[in-house]
A and B are shown apart, each in its own frame.
Chain A
Amino acid sequence: MKKLSYRILGFAITSLVFLATVSSASACIFGHYQPQVPKSLQK
């Protein structure tokens, strides 16, 4: 059970980091509000 929860946690974090990277690579995503992009993702 613990192993499964670690896998879910890993998957969630990987997906979120992927989303953040994709989102920061575009000019903006969709909505009319832009959250502040973290310094590490600005390019």
Chain B
Amino acid sequence: MSYLFFSSKIASYLVKKAKLNNEKEEVLAYAIEVLSLNLINIGMALLIGYMLGVIPGTIICLIIVTIIRTFAGGAHSNSPWRCAVITSLVFPVMALLAQELVHFDSNILDIFLGVAIITGFVTVFVLAPVDSPNAPIVSDNRRIRLKKLSLLSVIIICAIAVFIRYSIPNKMEILLCIGFAVLWSSFILTNTGHIFFKAIDCLKILKRREV
């Protein structure tokens, strides 16, 4: 198993202190890596969202993508640093697009939202869950459970969008953020999404430092 140097160092320190076995060291290194990378990614996305003046939209996009991606999975970059760059740019850009498009005719925005939700539902229904070589879904039961939960998550998001549309006036920006986030979550489930991440992985920058 290869983890970033600080994950392995901290895990090794904890294992020595608590006198645990090697198997636990891997689990701890994995947890530290998940925790630290996600905190860095969220922090960077919020910082760029703040600089662009789209913090609320960025938070909404983060929440929607996290809800769907937790169960549906999707394409991944093979480098944590490229991932950090993508994550910190994608969410504020979606929020910025929502802010710019909010002045369009509301009928067009309704159609966009409808198309986004339907695309999300169909993509999740056909493709989810999409696992990765680093986190394979071994059990069929788990695969079925994740499929059901990912469909449920899209249905709940759809219900929230409909509720906001008909009960809160002048909240089209929130709905656009939801639409873009659902479309992004669908995109990374597809082959094109995987090709996109492979293309980014081919960029010879931000090489990973492994221990």
Contacting A17 at CB < 8 Å: which of B27, B34, B41, B137? B27
Contacting B69 at CB < 8 Å: which of A12, A25, A27? A27
Q: Is A26 within 8 A of B17, CB to CB?
A: no
Q: Is A27 within 8 A of B35, CB to CB?
A: no
Q: Interface digits, B122-149 against A, CB 8 Å rule (1 contact, 0 not)?
A: 0000001111101111110010001000
Asked if B23 is an interface residue, CB under 8 A from chain A, the answer is yes
Q: Is A37 within 8 A of B135, CB to CB?
A: yes
Q: Interface digits, A17-43 against B, CB 8 Å rule (1 contact, 0 not)?
A: 101100111111111111111111111
Q: Is B83 within 8 A of A27, CB to CB?
A: no
By a CB distance below 8 angstroms, the chain A residues around B131 are 27
Contact flag A31-B35 (CB < 8 Å), given A20-B27, A24-B135: no
Contact flag A35-B132 (CB < 8 Å), given A30-B41, A30-B66: no
Q: Interface digits, B77-104 against A, CB 8 Å rule (1 contact, 0 not)?
A: 1111011101100000000000000000
Interface size class of A (residues with CB under 8 A): 20 to 34
Within 8 A of A (CB), among B44-100: 62, 65-66, 69-80, 82-84, 86-87
Q: Is A28 within 8 A of B73, CB to CB?
A: yes
User: Which positions in B face A, CB cutoff 8 Å?
Assistant: 1-3, 7, 14, 17-18, 20, 23-24, 26-28, 30-35, 37-38, 41-42, 62, 65-66, 69-80, 82-84, 86-87, 128-132, 134-139, 142, 146, 150, 188, 197
User: Which positions in A face B, CB cutoff 8 Å?
Assistant: 9-10, 12-13, 16-17, 19-20, 23-43
A-B contact pairs, 30 of them (CB 8 A): A9-B17, A9-B18, A16-B31, A17-B28, A17-B31, A19-B31, A19-B34, A20-B30, A20-B31, A26-B70, A27-B69, A27-B130, A28-B76, A28-B132, A29-B34, A30-B38, A30-B65, A31-B41, A31-B80, A31-B84, A32-B77, A33-B84, A34-B76, A36-B2, A37-B134, A38-B1, A40-B26, A40-B27, A42-B136, A43-B142
| 4 shortest interchain CB distances as A-B pairs | A27-B73, A33-B83, A20-B31, A16-B31
Q: A13-B28, A36-B134 are in contact. List 16 more A-B contacts (CB 8 A).
A: A19-B31, A26-B70, A27-B128, A27-B130, A28-B73, A28-B74, A29-B34, A29-B69, A30-B87, A32-B86, A32-B197, A33-B37, A33-B78, A35-B80, A36-B3, A38-B23
